[in-house]
Chains A and B, each alone.
Chain A
Amino acid sequence: MILVGERINGMFRDIRRAIRDKDPGPVQHWAKRQEEAGADYLDVNVGPAAEDPVEAMKWLVQVVQEVTEVPLCLDSTNYDAIEAGLRLCKKAAIINSVPADRPKIERVFPMAKEYGAKVIGLTMDRKGIPKDAEARTALAMEIVAAADEFGFPIEDLFIDPLVLPVNVAQDHGPEVLETIRQVKNLASPPPKTIIGLSNVSQKAVHRSLVDRTFVAMAMAAGLDAAILNLDDDALLDTIATARILLNQDVYADSYLKVFRSRRR
């Protein structure tokens, strides 16, 4: 399971302020803290309020890389900002993200190839997010076919079936899980799957419980990666346990401890 730390995002007040004031402190704090919690990638998002997203992305990438070698997941709808970030990345990054929309596909895949980046493809198009798994999978297929057309390795493609908050879109949950299953049949080797986990519990009470229940269900469906809250120990324990139950890690009585300390 690939863990992507969600915390360096302008949606959070401390990061938004840090970007505005060019104060590396909070950004670097979260970079280190998520690394210690076992992040495989750090998501980096300037947030909707950034005045100059390109400059903000460059600044974020630089200050994060000053304190950690964990590779980055550049999260923006502004591809100029992503490209500016890619130029600065010391390790192969993930581009987050591209929808099933031809002009964007044509912009993203050549860029990904140029910088050796992986890509997250969203199961949505200009019309938005379809509800049922068949339609989501069809959009995933469009992205897979496009990746193949551009000579982009399918195993470096992550399909994000777009999790929605359970308190407003409860009916999407099973469709997302089914999409994770179906995406595995699209190609061989199949694309990977990823979700923005915290979305599922937006504004819900029992956030941690909702997150960890859903992540276990998604892992059973074949989930490969998640953008998530690495500050949640119970969530990490759930992932460690799911990996054991799915025979992805070798069981030992002290497996939880091993999983928590695996970066050290």
Chain B
Amino acid sequence: MAVERIMERYTSRVREVTLGATAEQGGTRSHTITVGGDSTLPFLHFEGEVPHRPVLALEVNDVPPAWHQLLLEHYRDVLDDPGAWAAKAVRQFGADLVCLRLVGADPDGENRSPEECAQVVRRVLEAVKVPLIVIGCGDADKDNEVMPAVAEAGAGENLLLGIATQENYKTLTAACMVHKHNIIAQSPIDINICKQLNILISEMNMPLDRIVIDPTLGALGYGIEYTYSIMERIRLGALGGDSMLAMPVIVNVGYEAWRAKEANVPESEFPRWGDQPTRAVLWEAMTGAHGLQAGAHIVILRNPDALRLLRRHIEQLMVPNRA
């Protein structure tokens, strides 16, 4: 019996964003990474194009983080050197790109100067040749001092810089425009703010193909379904022709998953939750996998074992399927 399949006819697609720049393009990366371009829902190859596989970033901090032992054991030898850390993330663990978090800039922490932060960025750019994501410390005022210096230090490298929010996007947008970088536009689990922030950034004449959406994906078990649905609506909006939702999506999975109790408590305290190493890896990998199903293009992770699981998963999802 020949069953007539339902093929959705979408009018539009997700915009492509390219990260990094090679020598010919004015940078020093060995290659660029392009994300987005999808003309259908995640991995429905049978009715549209998924031209680029989602990519996986590992997070690198500029100061040794207060992470859980289970994470630190992977990085113990490189915690003091962001360059070596980045190199290990790429060469040993196979990260597609590196996400450098400038935690050291935090005024409540080491309160590093913009120039010190820029120096770290230079160091990481020398240490690895993959495209780079750089995220500030989260203190809005301090980030507004630090990120312009970072943008300048990385001029020509076509970085992805974050984080712009509705309350604080102008300085970062301006810095990205001057030095030709891409920007992460973050909204707090809110599709209306997501769209408005993209509009606000584009009104500063930032090209739409240099914006990446961070919809704030919560961890598995902690409201992930809210963002999951928002991401599905973002993708449907993009496919339906809403150009202010048609940006690729980044999800900060390592950070969120490791805030979850399930990643952090040992089996001795919660015997009925099973062994912690497996549970923690899966908490992070599953959070990332839900992001992929909802339409994420860039997944930032912490645990190399979670990266390994998602790498295999993405390969399987990218196998062409038929209707």
Direct touching of A and B (C-beta under 8 Å): yes
**Complex: how many Å from CA A112 to CA B191?**
40
> Mask for B219-250, Cβ within 8 A of A = 1, else 0?
00000000000000100010001111100000
Known: A258-B244, A262-B243. Contact between A250 and B199, CB under 8 A? no
A205 within 8 A of B: no
Most A CB contacts (10 A, CB to CB) among B191, B195, B203 go to B195
Interface size, A (range) = under 10
Contact check, B196 vs A254: say whether CB atoms are below 8 A apart: yes
Contact check, A250 vs B195: say whether CB atoms are below 8 A apart: yes
Contact check, A262 vs B192: say whether CB atoms are below 8 A apart: no
B178-228 interface (Cβ within 8 A of A): 191-193, 195-196, 199-200, 203
**Complex: how many Å from CA A249 to CA B243?**
11
Chain A residues with Cβ under 8 A from B195's Cβ? 250-252, 258
Contact check, A250 vs B192: say whether CB atoms are below 8 A apart: yes
**Complex: how many Å from CA A235 to CA B160?**
40
Known: A262-B241, A262-B243. Contact between A252 and B233, CB under 8 A? no
Q: Which residue of B lies closest to A253 (CB)?
A: B196
Contact check, A258 vs B233: say whether CB atoms are below 8 A apart: no
Known: A249-B242, A251-B192, A252-B244. Contact between A258 and B199, CB under 8 A? yes
**Complex: how many Å from CA A23 to CA B156?**
51
A257 within 8 A of B: yes
Chain B residues with Cβ under 8 A from A251's Cβ? 192, 195
Option from B200, B203, B237 in Cβ contact (under 8 Å) with A250: B237
Which DSSP category, helix, strand, loop or mixed, fits chain B's interface?
Answer: helix
**Complex: how many Å from CA A250 to CA B244?**
10
Chain A residues with Cβ under 8 A from B245's Cβ? 250
Shortest A235–chain B CB gap in Å is 20
Interface size on B, residues (CB 8 A): 15
Contact check, B199 vs A254: say whether CB atoms are below 8 A apart: yes
Chain A residues with Cβ under 8 A from B242's Cβ? 249-250, 258
Chain B residues with Cβ under 8 A from A258's Cβ? 195, 199, 242-244
Chain B residues with Cβ under 8 A from A262's Cβ? 241, 243
**Complex: how many Å from CA A262 to CA B203?**
14
Contact check, A252 vs B192: say whether CB atoms are below 8 A apart: yes
Contact check, A250 vs B243: say whether CB atoms are below 8 A apart: no
Chain B residues with Cβ under 8 A from A257's Cβ? 199
**Complex: how many Å from CA A169 to CA B245?**
43
B223-281 interface (Cβ within 8 A of A): 233, 237, 241-245
Shortest B240–chain A CB gap in Å is 9
Shortest A192–chain B CB gap in Å is 14
> Mask for B34-69, Cβ within 8 A of A = 1, else 0?
000000000000000000000000000000000000
**Complex: how many Å from CA A262 to CA B241?**
8
A237-257 interface (Cβ within 8 A of B): 249-254, 257
Chain A residues with Cβ under 8 A from B193's Cβ? 252
**Complex: how many Å from CA A251 to CA B199?**
12
Chain B residues with Cβ under 8 A from A253's Cβ? 192, 196, 199
**Complex: how many Å from CA A109 to CA B304?**
60
Contact check, A254 vs B200: say whether CB atoms are below 8 A apart: yes
Contact check, B241 vs A250: say whether CB atoms are below 8 A apart: no
Chain A residues with Cβ under 8 A from B241's Cβ? 262
A119-143 interface (Cβ within 8 A of B): none
Chain A residues with Cβ under 8 A from B243's Cβ? 258, 262
Shortest B217–chain A CB gap in Å is 18
For the complex with contacts A250-B192, A252-B195, 20 further pairs of A-B residues with Cβ separation under 8 Å are: A249-B237, A249-B242, A250-B191, A250-B237, A250-B242, A250-B245, A251-B192, A252-B192, A252-B196, A252-B199, A253-B196, A253-B199, A254-B196, A254-B199, A254-B203, A257-B199, A258-B195, A258-B199, A258-B242, A258-B244
24 A-B interface contacts by CB (under 8 A): A249-B242, A250-B191, A250-B192, A250-B195, A250-B242, A250-B245, A251-B192, A251-B195, A252-B192, A252-B193, A252-B195, A252-B196, A252-B199, A252-B244, A253-B192, A253-B196, A254-B199, A254-B200, A257-B199, A258-B195, A258-B199, A258-B243, A258-B244, A262-B243
